[in-house]
Amino acid sequence: MSVINAVTCPICGCLCDDIEVTVVNNEVVKVKNGCAVCEAKYMGYKSEHRIRQPLIRKNGELVPVSMDEAVHEAAEILANANYPILYGWSSTNCEAQRIGVELAEEVGGVLDNTAVVCHGPSLMGTQEVGIPTSTLGQIRHRADVIIYWGCNPWSAHPRHLERYTSFTEGRFEDSEWKTYINKVKAAAGRKKVLSAQRVAPKPQRETVGESAVESVVFNKPPETLQKEGRKLIVIDVRKSMTAEMADYFIQVEPNKDYELMQAIRALVKDEELDVDQVAGVPVEYLREVVDVLVNCQFGVIFFGMGLTQSAGKFRNIEVAISLTRDLNARTKFLIMPMRGHFNVAGANIVFAWQSGYAFGVDFSLGYPRYNPGETTSMDVLLRGESDAALVIASDPGATFPKKAIQSLVKHPLIVIDPHMNATAMLGDIVFPSAFVGIEVEGTAYRMDNVPLPLKKVVEPPEGVISDEELLKKILAEVRRIKAQKAKKTAEVA
């Protein structure tokens, strides 16, 4: 039995690196410090849905074949394709991503990662206005106002608050954990009182003790906004679990975040607003919230899919960043995207240093090109322009809209994944791969772009190799096929 410390969890952008894993006979038996999703991964990776050997679809069914046959078939497809897509990359290590760039360049394809359905709009927003940001430790040490806008860490980044924001101890700010616990205790008490009086709590005005986490519609902002210590503000279209923990929750109408942010920007600049409410939020409130923002020592906005996937998309991000820039005239304010996959940032970073562009990189002309809407994989698929695809370390079969998947399935689809996921179920050639962060070591980048090492804690199943090794094999075979083709053409000429 061995206990391995400082293991980096390979799931979300938090990239918690304090996980403790106990291994017995090459199997993980216990996980400490991780959240529910982390435990699920370390205990569930060896499930029956694991792909054990390469498969090729013959007569409509996926049948096992040798590695050599699968590599050759895959390489043939890519070498002969006119405009292949190489998509995914976000759940593997940087070492594999680098081979990916080389492969995409070799076959003249479109190289894209999951940011296209996640924070691609955020990257586009930064290309308009930049981004005032920092590493997560700065937040932990200094932030006294923490805003989550259009994201719900409780569901998507479970340990975010306890590792980086409200519930951490910093050099200059303390954790708000005790305050929150007291709040919950008070809430439990109040519920008991109400049920004793046989009064049903109204769903709209659910109050939680003194510090009211309530819908903003008719009441004043609670005194908790004026308290000492860190303040947590959540802005969302519905009351999420994170909103329940917040000192202040603003319920914004769906697709109206842009207007709300512009209104706040105006108030930050001491301008008058001619309306009573914006996006369903009374201007009176906004004034009070803005007071808190401009008078804080150090504020930060974390944002997620609520902004990138609703109307406005990258314009929402542009305005959120612009708001942060405006606030810097009054106090210290930063902004950070809540990156989803554990190495989505890494893929953007590797693509950028090798080609200049972070995603949607088109190599078909022999040099890198980037034009969102034209070279982004989603649009290429929706217009039906690609004629082959390699999908790795991602599951577009489960995350892409129907029409895009239909386009993927119409042409040869090569899939590399440890699990039989939705894309693999639809694939023509399916390769097993080893789990990065469990069976393969490597590098990944956290949501704040800090690089961290991933550990190997167990051996992969027999015959299952890493993404990096597999891609190297395919690349070598592609080069061999192309060289042979060139030789034949030269002989004929």
Partner 1 sequence: MQQKLHVTLLTGRTIEQGVGKEYGKSSHQYYEACSMVYMDVDDMQKLGVKNGTNVKVTTPNGSVILKAVKYPRGATPGLIYIPYGPWANAVVSNATTSIGMPSFKGTPADVEAALDQPVLSIKELLKKEFGR
Partner 2 sequence: MTEMLIKNGFVFDPLNGINGEKMDIAIKDGKIVESVNDSRAKKIDATGLTVMPGGVDVHTHIAGAEVNTGRMIRPEDHVKDVVRKTALTRSGTGYSIPSTFVTGYRYSKMGYTTVMNPSMAPLGAKHTHEELNDIPLLDKATFPLLGDWWFVLENLQRDDLEGCARHIAWMMETTKGYAIKIVNPGGLESWGFGRNVHSIDDVVPNFDITPREIVCGLAKVNKMLNLPHTIHLHTNNLGIPGNYVTTLETMKALESVPNDGKPICHITHVQFSSFAGDNWGNMRSAAEEISRYINNHNHMTFDMGQIIFSDTTTMTADGPFEFTLYQLSGHKWVNSDVETETSGGIIPMHYKRTSAVNATQWSIGLELALMVKDPWKIFMTTDHPNAGPFFEYPKIIAWLTSRKARMATLKKCHKKAQKKSLLPSIKRELSLYELAIVTRAGQAKALGLKNKGHLGVGADADVAIYNINPETLDIAKKYITARKAFDSAAYTIKDGEIVVKDGEVVQNVPGRTMWLDVKTTEQLKVDEEMKRKFKDYWTVEYENYPVFDHYVKVPEAIPVKADV
List interacting residues with partner 1 (CB under 8 A): 11-12, 36-37, 40-41, 44-45, 47-50, 60, 116-117, 120-121, 124, 152, 154-156, 158, 203-204, 206, 215, 237-241, 243-244, 254-255, 305-306, 308-311, 313-314, 360, 372-373, 376-379, 382, 395, 397-406, 409, 419-422, 425-426
> Is 354 a residue that touches partner 2 (CB under 8 A)?
yes
Handedness of CA 425, 426, 427, 428 (dihedral sign): positive
Residue 452: which of partner 1, partner 2, none does it interact with, CB under 5 to 8 A by kind? partner 2
> Is 476 a residue that touches partner 2 (CB under 8 A)?
no
Q: Cβ distance 23 to 32 under 8 Å?
A: no
Q: How far apart are CA 367 and CA 355, in angstroms?
A: 8
> Is 298 a residue that touches partner 2 (CB under 8 A)?
yes
Scored b (16 or more CB within 10 A) or e, 407-433 reads: bbeebbbbbbbbbbbbbbebbbbbbbb
Under DSSP, is residue 42 helix (H, G, I), strand (E, B) or coil?
helix
Q: What's the angle, vertex CA 118, arms to CA 117 and CA 124, rounded to 5? A: 95
Q: How far apart are CA 203 and CA 215, in angstroms?
A: 10
Residue 303: which of partner 1, partner 2, none does it interact with, CB under 5 to 8 A by kind? none
Binds partner 2 (CB under 8 A): choice among 79, 358, 404, 458: 358
CA neighbor of 385 nearest in space, from 408, 416, 363, 368: 408
Looking at beta carbons only, is 244 or 441 nearer to partner 1? 244
> Is 164 a residue that touches partner 2 (CB under 8 A)?
yes
Q: Cβ distance 424 to 430 under 8 Å?
A: yes
Dig out the tokens for 375 from the structure: 């070279």
332-351 residues in contact with partner 2 (CB under 8 A) are 332, 334, 348-349
Residue 132: which of partner 1, partner 2, none does it interact with, CB under 5 to 8 A by kind? partner 2
Looking at beta carbons only, is 108 or 372 nearer to partner 1? 372
Binds partner 2 (CB under 8 A): choice among 355, 386, 407, 433: 355
Looking at beta carbons only, is 182 or 371 nearer to partner 1? 371
Binds partner 2 (CB under 8 A): choice among 177, 449, 469, 481: 449
Displacement of CA 492 from its chain's centroid (Å): 51
Under DSSP, is residue 233 helix (H, G, I), strand (E, B) or coil?
strand
Scored b (16 or more CB within 10 A) or e, 57-85 reads: eeeeebeebeeeebbbbbbebbbbbebbb
Looking at beta carbons only, is 156 or 471 nearer to partner 1? 156
Under DSSP, is residue 340 helix (H, G, I), strand (E, B) or coil?
coil
> Is 451 a residue that touches partner 2 (CB under 8 A)?
yes
The least CB distance from residue 272 to partner 1, in Å, is 29
Q: How far apart are CA 388 and CA 405, in angstroms?
A: 12
The least CB distance from residue 124 to partner 1, in Å, is 6
The least CB distance from residue 215 to partner 1, in Å, is 7
Residue 461: which of partner 2, partner 1, none does it interact with, CB under 5 to 8 A by kind? none
- Select the span of 274-282, 303-311, 380-388, 448-456 touching partner 2 (CB under 8 A): 448-456
Binds partner 2 (CB under 8 A): choice among 363, 400, 431, 435: 363
Q: How far apart are CA 326 and CA 261, in angstroms?
A: 11
Binds partner 2 (CB under 8 A): choice among 73, 105, 257, 477: 105
Q: Which residues contact 141 (CB under 8 A, 6 or more apart)?
A: 170, 171, 172, 173
> Is 472 a residue that touches partner 2 (CB under 8 A)?
no
The least CB distance from residue 422 to partner 1, in Å, is 5
Q: How far apart are CA 482 and CA 276, in angstroms?
A: 67
Residue 285: which of partner 2, partner 1, none does it interact with, CB under 5 to 8 A by kind? none
Q: Cβ distance 100 to 84 under 8 Å?
A: no
Q: How far is CA 369 from CA 124, 341, 352, 356, in A?
A: 15, 25, 12, 9
* Chain residues in the site for partner 2 (CB under 8 A): 5-6, 8, 17-18, 94, 98, 102, 105, 123, 126-138, 140-142, 163-164, 169, 171-172, 297-298, 325, 328-329, 331-332, 334, 348-349, 352-358, 363, 366-370, 443, 445, 449-453
